[in-house]
Structure 1
């Protein structure tokens, strides 16, 4: 595998930002890795970080590079700060960045596919929210998305960080039933002709467990198909390192 640490300028954000990219490399004598490469365009996974993290965290806390070495999959890990992958009321347009500009930049830098069947997103906590938002909002562009201990309802963020919440969403009233609300997006998604494949998991000791259960019941009422798994686990990296391996097994690669 090759690791690219990219600094680049974003027209959407009006500033320089960063992403890490894991890229397939065929090797013959690299200890512990065989690698997989092809002459065509590669499927791509946008792997999203959580609230207190950055673009480097998946590489620092998991063995993601080793896990994808035989999959022929490009992994893109962008930096979005504490934006909740949203166009902020008082701040930058991070939703436009991650949903529109970032894929265009990645496709211009690397030979990745633009087919929805080859385009995936996954993330943990705030990144799980971002991944679900991409899948529910853009089913014509994302074939599958995965949420690991995801924030399904940022209302808890409003309770803990009300001023920061208002900088992003304006107010709780403005957030509800908006394109930032996963419950609202799921209702729109239920009527879409194309359906992104959805995967969710959450540890039973996670503080977001009950919120995830409420969102799952909402999907059931809407008859939206999904895969959900739970087992003992908290909001921590041991759990996420285990579950990202499951996500990679689940991704519909090669379709």
Structure 2
């Protein structure tokens, strides 16, 4: 685990739009630069629903973590591609229900790591909150670091929250998932959501993101996203729009071009 703050801050490039900071901007955060805001505005101009997607994705995270802790008794989380800290992060949700919960956050964005050190702290004295400077293209390195904190003989919830859309090749995406899930024991879970190619406007927004100079985001078809759960047991309601995955409010939740699910390893 990296502890060299000066090295991390030296890697921050404010003139280049970056995914974590753009997402922070859409969520109403302040940890972004002019280039990030310009890229975010370009996407929102053609696909204004992106702001709602950012907000709704946090709601999905909260509901999924609560289900895994309260419903399945899982107390270990490996959150890969954490993004910038906001309200109700994984450790806050999990430790509110189980004070002994242990969470490892993973990201390779330098600004994320700076903020993680400052903000991602335990909310309970019994729990553990740690972070790894790692790239999901190197899952073995992530697993090696996570073993220092998590018990890999007990179930672990692996989380990919809107991050694997930055992987162009579906086969590479599936390889990342398979290699991580192979390392965790039976009874572990995976929480995954990504943007989906389910509308013309969201596709145009994806194009605008790439034109802005940010890392492109590749929308998946529902069939492609469903493949990522192969070999795992999806819980109800299966792969669904993130707004419609066990919503807390009564009534029909709005459709959104982002789908996800929670599944267990047999």
TM-score range, shorter chain: 0.3 to 0.5
Which structure has more relative contact order (CA 8 Å, sep 6+)? It is 2
By percentage of residues, which structure has more helix?
A: 2
- TM-score computed with the length of structure 1 as normaliser: 0.39
- TM-score computed with the length of structure 2 as normaliser: 0.38
